[in-house]
Amino acid sequence: AAKTNGRAQCHFYTSDLRTRHETNETLTAQISAGLQRGEFVPYFQPQVDGRSGALVGLEALVRWCHPERGVLTPYHFLDAARENGLLEALDEQITLAAVTALKEWRMQGLVVPQVSINISAQRLTKSMLGKELAAMVTDAGLSIDSIGLEILESAMIESGSVEMIETVRQLSNAGFKLELDDFGTGHASIANLRHFKVNRIKIDRSFIKDIHLHTDLSKITAAMIGLAHSLRIDALGEGVETPEERLILNALGVDHIQGFGVARPMPKDEVEGWIRRTQTKRVLPPRPAMTG
């Protein structure tokens, strides 16, 4: 049975519908139609200071509000979109929607320091990417450094050409905050830190999951945080689910955390409520100390 979350275009179904067999061709045609109908939207997942819980940014994560299958995660369509040349159009829609959302939040006075967008390898092959993105962000009246660009190190390796590094350098020079996603899982992790200015590494969840139970994980993570800090780069822990994981990361000096233990990715209206509920206390001045 389907239940709605109150948003007309998004229906939530139980997961068994996912097992329905579909040919790749059907899926591709559906993605294409979905792009035209605006069914792809960003959800937003909070990124917070590990100690204070203060919001430092939101990551935009694409979701497909499929008319029959409900809300689908990238697992269900991203590879098909990539293989059939539809990823660029999809990414452009998500980027525009995320930038527009940030503009609205700024106008409402909602404090969202940054929005991060996932940049695919394909987009990095476009030499005009920096100019186009910068124009989109400034047209929205936003400063370029309010946008983080998350780049997978696997993206850098796959097509890690001189041109691609040049494009990333242009993005950096334009003022975008560059972030290395899934850090530690590829082979180019450390090499990439030399080629352009990186603002943040996002330590992959494979190092974070059950970090409190495995000293090797905590030692490797400590080394990654130390490496980042020695280069004046922030370190974020990805996929933090439990208070135990959060506690260790804080002890290791991680700057930011993101994960279900903080909040799940949420639709735009829901994340607004989350920010109002969890962040208002933090903007009030501290209580005067009790005397006596």
- Which residues make up the interface to ligand C2E (CB under 6 A)? 45, 61-62, 73-75, 78, 91, 94, 118, 120, 150, 181-182, 205, 239-241, 259-260, 265
Q: Is 179 in the site for Mg ion (CB under 5 A)?
A: no
Residue nearest to ligand C2E (CB): 259
**Angle, helix 87-108 to helix 24-37, in steps of 10 degrees:** 30
* Binds Mg ion by CB under 5 A, chosen from 39, 181, 245, 272: 181
Q: Which does 41 bind (CB under 5 to 8 A by kind): Mg ion, ligand C2E, none?
A: none
DSSP states of 8-63 as a string? Answer: TT-EE--GGGGGS---HHHHHHHHHHHHHHT-EEEEEEEEEETTT--EEEEEEEEE
| Binding footprint of Mg ion, residue count (CB under 5 A) | 6
If the CB atoms of residues 28 and 118 are measured against Mg ion, the closer one turns out to be 118
- Closest Cα to residue 185, out of 258, 147, 239? 239
Residues 6+ apart with CB under 8 A from 135: none
Measure the CA–CA gap between 150 and 256, rounded to whole angstroms. 15
If the CB atoms of residues 45 and 114 are measured against ligand C2E, the closer one turns out to be 45
- Closest Cα to residue 95, out of 170, 159, 32, 147? 147
* Binds Mg ion by CB under 5 A, chosen from 150, 153, 245, 272: 150
Q: 109-148 mask for Mg ion (x: CB under 5 A)?
A: ---------x------------------------------
Q: Please state the closest distance from residue 282 (CB atom) to ligand C2E, in A.
A: 22
Within its chain, how far is the Cα of 110 from the centroid?
A: 19
Q: Are 261 and 246 in contact (CB under 8 A)?
A: yes
Phi, psi angle pair for 53, to nearest 5°: 80, 5
Q: Please state the closest distance from residue 238 (CB atom) to Mg ion, in A.
A: 5
**Two tokens, residue 89:** 């159009």
Q: 187-226 mask for Mg ion (x: CB under 5 A)?
A: -----------------x----------------------
Residues that bind Mg ion (CB under 5 A): 118, 150, 181-182, 204, 238
